[in-house]
Structure 1
Amino acid sequence: MTQAFLIALMPVFIITALGIVIGRKTSYLDNPALSQLVTNVGLPCLLLSSVLKMNMNAGGMMTLMAATACALSVLALITFVILRLARLPVRYYISALVNPNAGNLGIPVVFALAGEQGLAAAVVISSVVQISHFTLGVGAMSGNYQPKQLLRNMPVLSLVVGLLILLVGLPIPTFALDTLSMLGSVTVPIMLLLLGKTVSSLSLGDKSHWTRLISLAVYRPLIGTLVALGIIEIFPLAPAQALALLLQSAMPVAVISYILTTKYNGPKEDIASLIVLSTPVSLVMVTLLWLLVN
């Protein structure tokens, strides 16, 4: 079983490693338009394609979104208390510890371990997490948030469109689904390459507070998983949806947290370290979950 798990994840490891090499040796992945292409074209198409092909009605999709939002809310409350007790700035740490890397690592991991059924749920969960990044994250770090910013977020808009299509029961031509699938297929490999490139450029800085950083790195995947375990007992999720929520809740600190922390002049070296340190912890959690459900 462990061998099957490792074989399933090998493409994730290999493409990420390739991204690290490319990021260090070339400038192929330096163009910011590449990330925008994934965010504004690839991910929305992947989301729509997966949602429209999956065996999930609008009610099931809304239940999954509600379960994800509930998991993030519970985790935010717990994290708020922990940060207060630890006397750490809630403003900069809460989003990083609450919002997992459900996108460029979570989606490929779920796809590798749960296939097409899990992929559909994964992109829905990732979209809800992305909303959290641009509400909880931006709101906390900037001290000022305008909800209309979500109207310019393409994955969020795609999620709304997909939900409306499911509600109306609108038939989608085969050629349209094939087009969405082809455009969406570029998303996962590019996301992994960009993840590798980001990891290759992270600076760990002066680490005189390893104990605190390691504790927070363990906290993110561990508490995220425990909260998700409780949530799937409450919400009536399909097995593939429950597995996707568990796996993505066990993901490490998201790269976008580093980007937002840098933008708002926060402790970017700490967040960069948490990304690196929480990743092996996440892999251990994913392995345990995989062994638990198989």
Structure 2
Amino acid sequence: MFLSIFSRIGIIFIVLLVGILTRRFRVLTKETTDGLCRIAIEVTLPFLYFYTLSTSLNRQLFFSILTLPLFALVLTFVSFLLSWLVSLRLKLTSQQRRSFMFLVTFPNYGFLAIPLVFALFGQEGLVRVFVFNLGITFLYWTLGVAILRGPAKGARIFKSLANNAMAALILGLIVGITSFRLPQFILETSRLIGDATIPLALIVVGSILAQRDSRKPVPFKAVSTLVFCRLLLMPALAILFINVFGGLPRMLAVIIVLQAAMPSASTAPILTKRFGGDTELAASGVFFTTLFSIITVPLFISLALR
């Protein structure tokens, strides 16, 4: 089972390697990577959200998986509480603490989770992971921004929710639940643009990982603690969580564990630069959690599939 899952995930990491090499050989620069990241987040991903939800979701399915955003909220708040408690035990500056808490709290729920779920379950899995992402996307743009900014007015934080991905999620949900029939050319256009998301996102993640300056020392204690919390403790708690509740369909249980097992959000260095925090710690955290997730993700998915 482990080798079967590892081989599927291996394809994902090969595309990641392509992203790393394009940056190392200067096909991509920091500026072009930032531009591609914006295209993925603000253009192709919203189209993928909209197409998948509007064509694969219906009212009955939506209400049968409505617990997924609630699970996302619970797991995110647990990881936030964990990050806060652990950060108090580490000798970190204020900026490092904010970055550490963000890295522990928010996994790579989009750029890596989406291709992995698609590799395991196809289009049927994508619908469920997008509904799961409703909860975590809401917290990403509210709690996540608040962590990085520090004390901030609620109005400023909630303005972050006004983004293309959130709009596409809501619009796709409305179309799917109401079974509203859209013209075929709109759906085909959405599919064509949305299909670019997965390879583009993986190349962007690879390029972001390659941005880390290898000459700069790694804050070992903070990064090793992050790897333990993000890649081992959180998925272990997720497995305990689904066993306590029990009765969850296999696919839903695997998606919950997979999301909990994801490395830190690959957009963390970009968000820390925009809202505050330590960008070097963010880059190191994303690099090392993604690196070690090559082993830990197949392991925890295998455990969830048993």
Q: TM-score range by the shorter chain?
A: 0.7 to 0.9
Of 113, 138, 141, which aligns to 1:134? Answer: 141
The alignment status of 1:105 with 2:112, answered yes or no, reads yes
Checking the alignment, whether the CA contact within 8 Å between 2:69 and 2:132 is kept in structure 1 is yes
Distance 1:265 1:52, change over 3 A: closer
Checking the alignment, whether the CA contact within 8 Å between 1:127 and 1:155 is kept in structure 2 is no
C-alpha displacement at 1:188, in angstroms?
A: 0.2
For 2:63 and 2:187, how far apart are their aligned partners in 1? 21
For 1:263 and 1:116, how far apart are their aligned partners in 2? 34
| Deviates further, 179-188 or 20-29 | 20-29
Distance 1:248 1:204, change over 3 A: farther
For 1:84 and 1:270, how far apart are their aligned partners in 2? 16
C-alpha displacement at 1:266, in angstroms?
A: 2.5
C-alpha displacement at 1:130, in angstroms?
A: 3.4
For 1:230 and 1:156, how far apart are their aligned partners in 2? 30
Q: Give, as a single letter, the amino acid of the residue that structure 2 aligns with 1:290.
A: I
The alignment status of 1:86 with 2:90, answered yes or no, reads yes
For 1:268 and 1:94, how far apart are their aligned partners in 2? 13
Residue number in structure 1 paired with 2:172: 162
For 1:263 and 1:147, how far apart are their aligned partners in 2? 13
Unaligned runs of 5+ in 2: none
Distance 1:265 1:64, change over 3 A: closer
For 1:155 and 1:34, how far apart are their aligned partners in 2? 15
The superposition leaves residues 9-61 of structure 1 with CA deviations (integer Å, 9 ceiling, x where unpaired) of 23212211111111122344643432222222211111122223335633245
For 2:226 and 2:206, how far apart are their aligned partners in 1? 22
The alignment status of 1:118 with 2:125, answered yes or no, reads yes
C-alpha displacement at 1:218, in angstroms?
A: 1.8
**Corresponding residue pairs, total:** 294
TM-score normalized with structure 1 length: 0.88
Distance 1:209 1:151, change over 3 A: closer
The alignment status of 1:50 with 2:38, answered yes or no, reads no
Unaligned runs of 5+ in 1: none
Checking the alignment, whether the CA contact within 8 Å between 1:131 and 1:150 is kept in structure 2 is no
The alignment status of 1:224 with 2:234, answered yes or no, reads yes
| Deviates further, 107-116 or 183-192 | 107-116
Checking the alignment, whether the CA contact within 8 Å between 1:79 and 1:94 is kept in structure 2 is yes
C-alpha displacement at 1:265, in angstroms?
A: 4.7
C-alpha displacement at 1:65, in angstroms?
A: 1.2
Q: Give, as a single letter, the amino acid of the residue that structure 1 aligns with 2:74.
A: C
For 1:244 and 1:18, how far apart are their aligned partners in 2? 26
For 2:126 and 2:179, how far apart are their aligned partners in 1? 21
The alignment status of 1:247 with 2:258, answered yes or no, reads yes
Distance 1:235 1:186, change over 3 A: farther
| Deviates further, 85-94 or 70-79 | 85-94
Q: Give, as a single letter, the amino acid of the residue that structure 1 aligns with 2:38.
A: Q
Identity fraction in percent:
25
Residue number in structure 2 paired with 1:77: 81
Distance 1:40 1:260, change over 3 A: closer
Which secondary structure state, in structure 1, belongs to the residue aligned with residue 263 of structure 2? Answer: coil
Distance 1:181 1:198, change over 3 A: same
Distance 1:33 1:230, change over 3 A: same
Residue number in structure 2 paired with 1:21: 21
Of 198, 203, 227, which aligns to 2:208? Answer: 198
C-alpha displacement at 1:82, in angstroms?
A: 1.9
